[in-house]
């Protein structure tokens, strides 16, 4: 009788752990997708602002990318590849490279913000560096289709 209760409690604990880890993974997926959509919106706003020579907007949006890029690595907990996500296992297999690419985006966005503040005429080069940083990470760590 005691053995059955222990077995039941153990199974309940394992099931609870499994369910909570799945919910945690889904929450991380949703948070990172929201962050990435925000970065995409900021990049589009930067492009439009550069065309209008609206350096204040470029600077503000670049600073938002700096802030959000600092959160990227934390939004990819191991095992969060199940569900509606394009994240690949390479993120954890090559975690050093993934962290470096996130840091590169941070650096590029910071340089863009500085260029905008100083109204640097070569701002297009800085915009391209941000775009390349985004694309480089996506090329290496993002699948073409959702995992579901």
User: Token pair of 136, please?
Assistant: 């480089």
- Tell whether the model's pLDDT for residue 8 goes beyond 70: no
* Contact between 112 and 130 (Cβ < 8 Å): yes
pLDDT digits (tens, 9 = 90+) for 12-63: 444 444 444 444 588 999 999 999 999 999 999 999 999 999 999 999 999 9
Concatenating the DSSP letter of every residue in 60-87 gives HHHHHHHHHHTTTGGG--TTTTSSS--B
User: Token pair of 17, please?
Assistant: 């752990």
Global pTM value: 0.83
C-alpha torsion angle, residues 99, 100, 104, 110 (rounded to 10): 60
Residue 70 has φ and ψ, to the nearest 5°, of -70, -15
Q: Output DSSP code: residue 137.
A: H
pLDDT digits (tens, 9 = 90+) for 87-139: 999 999 999 999 999 999 999 999 999 999 999 988 999 999 999 999 999 99
The chain-wide mean pLDDT, for the chain, equals 87
Cα 50-52-56 angle, rounded to 5 deg: 65
Give the pLDDT confidence score for residue 69 in this predicted structure: 97
Give the pLDDT confidence score for residue 83 in this predicted structure: 82
The CATH homologous superfamily of the domain defined by 2-141: Cytochrome c/b562 (1.20.120.10)
């Amino acid at each position: 009788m005691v053995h059955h209760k222990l077995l039941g409690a153990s199974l309940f604990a394992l099931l609870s752990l499994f369910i909570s880890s799945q919910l945690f993974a889904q929450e991380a997926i949703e948070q990172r997708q929201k962050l990435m959509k925000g970065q995409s919106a900021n990049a589009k706003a930067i492009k439009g602002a550069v065309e209008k020579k609206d350096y204040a907007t470029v600077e503000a949006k670049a600073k938002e990318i700096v802030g959000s890029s600092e959160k990227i690595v934390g939004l990819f907990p191991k095992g969060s590849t199940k569900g509606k996500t394009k994240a690949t296992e390479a993120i954890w297999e090559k975690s050093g490279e993934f962290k470096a690419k996130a840091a590169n985006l941070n650096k590029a966005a910071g340089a863009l913000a500085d260029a905008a503040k100083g109204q640097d005429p070569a701002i297009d080069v800085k915009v391209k560096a941000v775009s390349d940083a985004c694309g480089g990470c996506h090329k290496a760590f993002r699948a073409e289709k959702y995992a579901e």
